[in-house]
Structure 1
Amino acid sequence: MRKWLYRLFIELTNHWLSSKLLASFAKSRLSALLIPSYAKVYHINQEEMEKSLKNYKTLQQLFIRRLKAGTRPIDADERAVVSPVDAVIEAMGIIEEPWEMTVKGKRYSIAEMLGGEEAAQPYVNGFFFILYLSPSHYHRIHSPISGVIEKQWTLGRKSYPVNRLGLKYGRRPLEKNYRLITEVKADGKRLAIVKIGAMFVNSIELTHEGDQLIKGEEMAYFSFGSTVVLLFERGSFTPDPNVAAPMPIKVGERLGYWCQQSDGKGNEGGRGRRNLSTL
């Protein structure tokens, strides 16, 4: 009964008109009246914001706020894969055959998530992370590694909640929600960065230009809280033993290690690129 009521409520409210109205309100000057209470309810850390609260003229501006320089140190280890977002690690583990992840007791297909078995095949027996952003989080997305964007595509239309209730009772939101997928290649291996839209608001805006990504560099932002899924090829990644689910994490903090290949001259791939020490 609880699952049925939850799904009914979401279907009734997740309509194109309600989505449009919510987005329009968040961008309106009228929404500024809610900024002080929003900041209080969600415990927004105003000390790290680029601007003071009074300088945000709409709720949407607050959602996509930038942080002061140096607020998010980026792990300097060349092999470190860092969190692309401020989030909660909701799940992590091995991608099992055929193309499945287990999240909150439910099995999700990465073939459905990525749009087909061919796209999913490189990630079988690899590793995954589910990183959930609440409305309180900083919503900008940064690159977890340095590499080259090989492919980028979108899938899905509607967006259902991706919080714990959504993952437990929803209609497979990780597979069905609107999502923007960026596939990055480094040292001959691939990483899929799957940015998943949240309830009502599908807006995922790209801010990065060109094909080259630098670890810690901003690449996009959500207009509302949402989820990022990271998919690693088999043998390309080793998780940090101190990382577990559930736990909070911030941009630039280490998730684990990229398994680099030698270039045949005693040097590891990826050297020579610019390193960022802070955000």
Structure 2
Amino acid sequence: MIESFYRLLIELTNGRLTSGILRRFARSPVSRFVVPSFAKIYDLNQEEMEKGLSEYPTLHDLFVRTLKKEARKIDKSNNTVVSPVDAVIEDVGPITETSDILVKGKTYSIEEMLGNHNLLAKYLNGTYMILYLSPSHYHRIHSPVNGIVTKQWTLGSKSYPVNKLGLKYGVRTLAKNFRVITEVQTDFGHVAVVKVGAMFVNSIETTHKGSELEKGEEMAYFSFGSTVVLLFEKGIFQIDSTLQTPKEIKVGEKIGVFRN
């Protein structure tokens, strides 16, 4: 009963009409009046923002805010993998031979998430990591590695919540939501950065141009809180031994290392 109720609730709050209304409000000049209260409710760190609150003309501008250059320190060691976002690491684990991952008691298909059978084989028996962004987090996405973008594609049309309840009661949210997938070739193997939308259709905006990526370089941003899924090719990644989930983490902090 509760599962059916929650599914109905998230469908109602993420339909074309309701999401459209919320999106228009967040981008409208009138939304500037809620900027101070939003910052207070979600306890945003104003010291690290590039601008003061009064300089954000809309709520959307606050969502996609940039930070001062010194606000995030990027681990530049050659073999490290860093967090691409400010987020909570919700889960990390193996990708099975059948492409499944188990998240919050639900099984997801990496093949469905990627939507590309030809790319699937390299990720079987590899590692996945799920990083959840709440409305309080900085919403810009940075590269977790140095490498070359070999492919980038978009899938899905509708977005349901990807918070804990959404992952538990939603219908294959990580594999069905609107998402932008970037595959990166590193010196150690392939990494897929799956950016999963959470509330608005087309709520992911890519900002990176060209094929080369530098660790810590901005790739895209979310228009609202959402999730990033990292997929690592088999045998190339070792998670940091001190990391236990759930864990709050920031852009540029080490999450693991590549194996030689």
TM-score (normalised: structure 2)? 0.98
Tell me the residue number matched to 1:208. 208
Shift of 1:184: 0.3
The number of residues matched between the two structures is 260
Tell me the residue number matched to 1:273. none
Tell me the residue number matched to 1:13. 13
Q: In 2 relative to 1, CA 136–201 (structure 1 residues): closer, same or farther, beyond 3 Å?
A: farther
Q: Distance in 2 between matches of 1:232 and 1:139?
A: 23
Kept in 1: contact 2:132–2:228 (CA 8 A): yes
Tell me the residue number matched to 1:79. 79
Kept in 2: contact 1:201–1:223 (CA 8 A): no
Kept in 1: contact 2:12–2:18 (CA 8 A): no
Structure 2 residue matching 1:144: 3-state secondary structure: coil
* Equivalent AA in structure 1 for residue 185 of structure 2: K
Q: Distance in 2 between matches of 1:68 and 1:151?
A: 30
Structure 2 residue matching 1:231: 3-state secondary structure: strand
Tell me the residue number matched to 2:49. 49
Structure 2 residue matching 1:70: 3-state secondary structure: helix
Kept in 1: contact 2:87–2:133 (CA 8 A): yes
Share of identical aligned residues, percent?
Answer: 60
* Equivalent AA in structure 1 for residue 78 of structure 2: E
Shift of 1:188: 5.6
Tell me the residue number matched to 2:192. 192
The answer for unaligned runs of 5 or more in structure 1 is: 261-279
RMSD after superposition: 1.0
Q: In 2 relative to 1, CA 8–107 (structure 1 residues): closer, same or farther, beyond 3 Å?
A: same
Shift of 1:106: 1.0
Is 1:159–2:154 an aligned residue pair? no
Highest CA radius of gyration, 1 or 2? 1
Kept in 2: contact 1:92–1:244 (CA 8 A): no
Q: Distance in 2 between matches of 1:136 and 1:201?
A: 20
Shift of 1:201: 4.7
Kept in 1: contact 2:188–2:259 (CA 8 A): no
Tell me the residue number matched to 1:276. none
Shift of 1:192: 0.3
Shift of 1:102: 0.8
Q: Distance in 1 between matches of 2:188 and 2:12?
A: 46
Tell me the residue number matched to 2:247. 247
Q: Distance in 1 between matches of 2:39 and 2:99?
A: 40
Moved over 4 A (4+): none
1:81-230 alignment runs, 5 A limit: 81-187=81-187, 189-230=189-230
